Structure formats: structure tokens, C-alpha cells
Amino acid sequence: MLRFLTSGESHGPALIALIEGLPRGVPLNIERINEELRRRQLGYGRGSRQKIESDRIEVLAGVRHGITTGAPITFLIRNRDFENWKYVMSSDEVDVSSPDVSEQLAKKAIENFRPGHADLAGTLKFDQSDIRDVLERASARETAARVAAGALCQELLAAVGVRAVGHVIQVGSVKSSAVSDNFSLAEIEERALQSELFCIDGEATEGMKALIKKCWQDGDSLGGVVEVLVEDLPVGLGSYTQWDRKLDGRLAQAVMSIQAFKAVEVGDGVRGAGLPGSSVHDALYPAQAGSAWPFSRRSNRAGGLEGGMTNGERLVVRGYMKPLPTMRAGLDSLSFPDFEAARAHYERSDVCAIAAASVVMKAMVCFVLADALLDKFASDTLADLQASLDQYVERVRKKAAPGLTAPRAGKVQKDEDPDSIGEF
């Protein structure tokens, strides 16, 4: 089992993470991991915090000479901004009679809840006397640690030939008109990196930027939709045998756990709910020259998952992010601890963090896929994993016995008999 935990506050000294279960022998390209962290800091609509930070991973354990040892990996990412919060966020007691300390404490005090954030329920649940204790841990700054943990998993996936990309397909009401099915993953990555919003449609990028600018002027915020695509996954990751082994369920949990995400979709899940089955399911055809598996398909509306398992097609997962709840314009709210009418607290934030969200979502998807891979195959060393994966792929491909690949006449099932309509 692969697992990771993070720790750290938004304005504390550092974020840390511990990831356990990666096999021995995975070569890590630390620069590639830092590049993911850099991308998470980009995107039109980010707040000024990103000018202060320059996120980099410092590995503390579990890696020697650039290769995983099989032991738990621990790393940290420093918060440079801590310097400006050192009294507010000090883990030691502070001297409140010092003018420096009292000035900082007063400047950073939070008096009112922000509707849409964790402030209200978190303060009540933990009987906090300061909303800051909730805000600091609920903040999306924590996603930097997730991105680094996911990038470690991406190194494992890359080592066995699996590739993942993330991009933005909607900001507020502006949608990308480029259809990702028409592009290779390499093209999507290249085009996304040319856009300040990681969107492969240049014209839509301009519309998205204009909308974000307008929202910034209005003191408002924006959400959007991101899509993560993964290719070259073996057929059969996940399982149909039990609810908690279904890969779509595991992906949904991981994606929904990202700060501000409110919905998740696999393939054409939402549209498909309104269509007849014949327009939704992806028909099967015999393998074509170059097919990786003993079958082929002409559509991928299932988004690469059937029955809670990968089916050999490109994995397509979308995450829906709400507008950030920290807004300069504010909303009606209540003060704390008096619960009297007030305007919501505003603290420096992003107007739109959707580009960053595409990097975070890819990290979470890569974590779940790496976990599923290690669950299915031998997992102590990368060589064991590769050998058992190769053996499995060989076994599945052998299923295409000669003579069985020619089209066969479909057999009419009893319940397909038109005369049976009306029986239910």
C-alpha cells in the first residue's frame, strides 16, 4: 500500500510530507519534481504570495544518490513567507509585551468567518479560540506538499512508461473549445505550457484572462474545470470486486479532497447520464495493427474506466473547482467569538488558482494510479514491478488467440428480444 501524509501550516516554517510504499530503485529526477512545484506557482490570477515563494523539495530520508531505497521518504518545502509571520506562527510562546510581536499579532488577527472556507465549522469543531488555527491548515498552500508527493509517484509511473498531463478546460463561464481527444499528451503539455492558464486553446486563454481581470477589479474570485489525462496504463488496475477497490471511487476521493474542489467526472459521465446506452458505451472491435491490447475501440466516452478498472484507453478525469472563498468584496458573515453581523475577513489570496489546480489534480491522480499499480504488481523493487507487469501484459495479449480476432456475429440475448419490451 502506498500512502502519504502532509504536515505544515500556510505561514509556518515549512510544509513536510512522508510518503511510504514506493519501491526500491526508482530513479528520481529532483529537477523534474521542482519543475512541478514551479508550475503549481504559476497561472494568471495568483496572489502576491507566489512572488515571495520559490518552492523546492529538500529530501530528508528514503533516497540515496538519487535512487529510492524502499524506506519511507520524507521531504520538506520551506515557506519563505514565514519570515513575515514569525511571531504569529511561532511554535514557542511569544512575548506579547514586545511592540514588534504585538504589532504583528494585531495586524494578522482574524475577526470574522469567511463563508465557503473551513473557518466556521473548523473553529467550532476544534473549540478554537483563534480562526487562524483553522485557516493555516485548511489553506491551499498545503497543495505544494501534495504536488511534490505526486511528482514522486509520477517518477515511478514514468519508469514503467505511463504518462500524465493536466490542463485547464474552463475558467468561470469561459470554456476551451479545443477537444483534448484530438491531441496527443505531448501536444497538450506543450500547448498548455504556452498558456498563462494552462489551456490548450489560445483564444479561450485570452477570454479567461479578461474574465479574471474583471473579477479582480470587482474584488471577486473564480473557479473552473481541469482535466487530467493518463496514457499507457495496463488494463485492469483497480477492481470490480469490492466498493473500496474500485479505481473510479479512489480517484474521486483523491480529487474531491483537493481544496475548493466540489465535483469530479470520469469521461463523459455527466453528459452520458442524459443519453441512451447506445450513445454512451464504447463498442469493441478486433485489435488493429499497433493495438496494445487484444481489442480496439473507436470512442472513449468511458474515460478509460469500466467497472472500477482501467480498460486500456486514455484515462480522462475532470475536477470542478469552486471560486475561492477569500474575496476582497467579501460577503455577509459573522464575527468571532460574538457571532454578530459583520463582513467576511479578507486576507491576501488568489483571484483564480485554476492553473495551479491542474498541477495539483495531476499529482493526486498520479498518487492513486501509482498505488493501484503497486497493489496489482510486485512492489518491493522497481525491477520486480517491471517484471511482473511485463508478465501480466504478455498473459493478457496471449488472450487474442488466432482466429478470434475476426468480427463475430453478435448473439441476440434473451432480454434483447424486442418482444420482451414491456415485461418490466
- Which of residues 141 and 362 has its CB atom nearest to ligand EPS in the complex? 141
- Which of residues 191 and 362 has its CB atom nearest to ligand EPS in the complex? 362
Amino acid at 372: A
Task: Copy the grid coordinates of residue 239.
Answer: 477492481
Which of 21, 27, 47, 294 lies at the binding interface for ligand EPS (CB under 6 A)?
47
CA distances from 3 to 14, 84, 207, 243, 375 (A): 20, 33, 39, 19, 12
Which of 131, 233, 237, 353 lies at the binding interface for ligand EPS (CB under 6 A)?
353
Site for ligand EPS in 163-222 (CB under 6 A): none
- Asked if residue 120 binds ligand EPS (CB under 6 A), the reply is no
We find the least distance from the C-beta atom of residue 371 to ligand EPS, in angstroms, to be 24
We find the least distance from the C-beta atom of residue 144 to ligand EPS, in angstroms, to be 6
* Element spanning 60, H or E: strand 58-61
Which of 59, 324, 327, 372 lies at the binding interface for ligand EPS (CB under 6 A)?
324
Residue 238 CA from chain centroid, whole number: 18
- Asked if residue 139 binds ligand EPS (CB under 6 A), the reply is yes
- Which of residues 9 and 371 has its CB atom nearest to ligand EPS in the complex? 9
The one-character DSSP state at 288 is P
Applying CB under 6 A, which part among 138-146, 205-213, 277-285, 393-401 lies near ligand EPS?
138-146
- Asked if residue 147 binds ligand EPS (CB under 6 A), the reply is no
Strand partners, 230: 164, 315
Applying CB under 6 A, which part among 153-161, 203-211, 306-314, 345-353 lies near ligand EPS?
345-353
- Asked if residue 350 binds ligand EPS (CB under 6 A), the reply is yes
d(CA 280, CA 299): 9
Which of 140, 178, 225, 364 lies at the binding interface for ligand EPS (CB under 6 A)?
140
Give the chain's radius of gyration (CA, Å). Answer: 24
Applying CB under 6 A, which part among 17-25, 57-65, 346-354, 416-424 lies near ligand EPS?
346-354
Which of 123, 170, 349, 358 lies at the binding interface for ligand EPS (CB under 6 A)?
349
Strand partners, 265: 318
- Asked if residue 358 binds ligand EPS (CB under 6 A), the reply is no
Dihedral angle sign, alpha carbons of residues 52, 58, 60, 61: positive
We find the least distance from the C-beta atom of residue 51 to ligand EPS, in angstroms, to be 10
- Which of residues 259 and 358 has its CB atom nearest to ligand EPS in the complex? 259
Report whether 13 contacts 79 (CB < 8 A): yes
Q: Is 277 helix (H, G, I), strand (E, B) or coil?
A: helix
- Asked if residue 141 binds ligand EPS (CB under 6 A), the reply is yes
Site for ligand EPS in 365-424 (CB under 6 A): none
- Which of residues 353 and 369 has its CB atom nearest to ligand EPS in the complex? 353
Which of 2, 4, 6, 10 lies at the binding interface for ligand EPS (CB under 6 A)?
10
Which of 49, 191, 246, 345 lies at the binding interface for ligand EPS (CB under 6 A)?
49
Task: Copy the grid coordinates of residue 267.
Answer: 469521461
- Which of 2, 18, 22, 21 has its CA nearest to residue 156? 22
We find the least distance from the C-beta atom of residue 319 to ligand EPS, in angstroms, to be 15
- Which of residues 35 and 203 has its CB atom nearest to ligand EPS in the complex? 35
Task: Copy the grid coordinates of residue 139.
Answer: 489553506
Which of 262, 271, 348, 397 lies at the binding interface for ligand EPS (CB under 6 A)?
348
CA distances from 351 to 12, 42, 87, 219, 354 (A): 23, 13, 27, 8, 10
Task: Copy the grid coordinates of residue 354.
Answer: 485554476
Q: What is the dihedral of CA 188, 190, 196, 201, to 10 degrees?
A: -40
Report whether 259 contacts 138 (CB < 8 A): yes
- Asked if residue 321 binds ligand EPS (CB under 6 A), the reply is no
User: Total residues contacting ligand EPS (rule CB under 6 A)?
Assistant: 18
The one-character DSSP state at 286 is P
User: Got the DSSP string for 3-48?
Assistant: EEEEE--TTSSEEEEEEE-PPBT-B--HHHHHHHHHHHT-STT--T
Q: Which runs of E-coded beta strand occur in 279-379?
A: 284-285, 296-297, 305-306, 309-310, 315-321, 332-334, 341-343
From residue 74 to residue 113, what is the string marking binding to ligand EPS with x (rule CB under 6 A)?
Answer: -------x--------------------------------
Site residues, ligand EPS (CB under 6 A):
10, 47, 49, 81, 139-141, 143-144, 259, 324, 326, 347-350, 353, 356
